[in-house]
Structure 1
Amino acid sequence: MPVSPVPSGYHTLTPYLIVNGAARALSWYGEAFGAREQMRLPAPGGRIGHAEMEIGDSRFMLADEAPAHDAKAPAAFGGSPVSLHLYVADVDAMMAKAVAAGATVKSQPEDKFYGDRLGTLTDPFGHTWHIATHIEDITLPEIERRMNAMSSST
């Protein structure tokens, strides 16, 4: 029987975060987002060489910085150009929970023209998260109409 190219429990695309302080990050993602630790592989010096967490039905991986292997956290670059988009049942409650755990709000939750209520925060490790609750099913033509209406009113 052939082995699946995607292991059981994973999706085709899996984010991999490099952080400064992976043990703290594992705890923080659990506290702020309810992430569940799936595995942890220690590295020399008390660091974490690889870990995996799950939020809902999605996994993400993380590890401590290892500059010798070109694995650097966002602060090494002055921030990260990559963000993560997390759908949750209640964006306002999740944002409040993350802020209480130490996240910094970049934008408060608000209803968006494309059918999501969305807020943005930066976690204590420099990663940007868009936290959203889908509130309205709308067609692509309606999204385009709303976007154009917004553009013409500014």
Structure 2
Amino acid sequence: MANGTPYLTAHGAAEALEFYVSAFGAAEDSRWTGNDGRIGHAQFGIGGAVFYIADEHPEVGVLGPKSLGGTPVALMLEFDDPDAVFERAVAAGATVDRPMADQPFGERNGWLFDPFGHRWGISSRPAEIPVAELRAKVGDAYEIT
């Protein structure tokens, strides 16, 4: 059996943790701060999801999305009230990528970038929709199995 935990890197991990607390309701579990003041490792939770984060350490090739010019990774969070969380994240400094909208596959979601360059999807829990109904809604755009 394997488990996985997303490990984020940010230029300003302490500020990123503050953002995640105010925007997503995160709770910090632990923090290891080096003698140079940089976070070497911190653990936080958002709902039942666990994340790790560290400051950039360029001397060993650890860089965040801003230093790398973007990220190919997106992190998805589900909330009972995704609109409120999305608005709170934008008020805390996130940039809207795609606004909140109802999706044909049964959820409401929107996408944003946090101030540290990480991309987040904010979503409701998807509704249970039979595959035949999903196929009818999406048409030829996707093959759904």
TM-score normalised over the length of structure 2: 0.91
Q: Could you report, residue by residue, the CA deviation over 1:19-78 in whole angstroms, capped at 9, with x for unpaired residues?
A: 000111111100110000000001231110000000111100000001122110001221
Aligned to 2:75: 84
Q: CA deviation at 1:144?
A: 2.5
- The alpha carbon displacement at 1:143 in A equals 1.9
How much identity, in percent, do the aligned residues show? Answer: 43
Given that residues 27 and 45 in structure 2 are in contact (C-alpha distance below 8 angstroms), is that contact kept between their aligned partners in structure 1? yes
How far residue 107 of structure 1 moved from its aligned partner, in angstroms, is: 1.0
Which residue is 1:120 aligned to? 111
Is residue 14 from structure 1 mapped to residue 5 from structure 2 by the alignment? yes
**How is 1:128-143 mapped onto 2 (pairs within 5 angstroms)?**
128-134=119-125, 136-143=127-134
CA distance in 1, matches of 2:44, 2:10: 14
Displacement after TM superposition at 1:13 (Å): 1.8
Q: Please state whether the residue corresponding to 1:106 is helix, strand or coil.
A: strand
Q: 1:107 aligns with which of 81, 90, 98?
A: 98
Q: C-alpha root-mean-square deviation of aligned residues, in Å?
A: 1.6
Q: 1:32 aligns with which of 2, 9, 23?
A: 23
Equivalent position of 1:148 in the other structure: 139
Do the aligned residues in 1 keep the contact of 2:105 with 2:126 (CA within 8 Å)?
no
Aligned to 2:43: 52
TM-score w.r.t. length of structure 1 = 0.86
2:58 and 2:106 map into 1 onto residues whose CA distance is 40
Q: Specify the alignment match of 1:9 in structure 2.
A: none
Q: CA shift at 1:137, angstroms? A: 1.3
Q: Report whether the alignment pairs 1:41 with 2:32.
A: yes
Runs of 4+ off more than 3 Å? none
Q: Which residue is 2:55 aligned to?
A: 64
Alignment size in residue pairs: 142
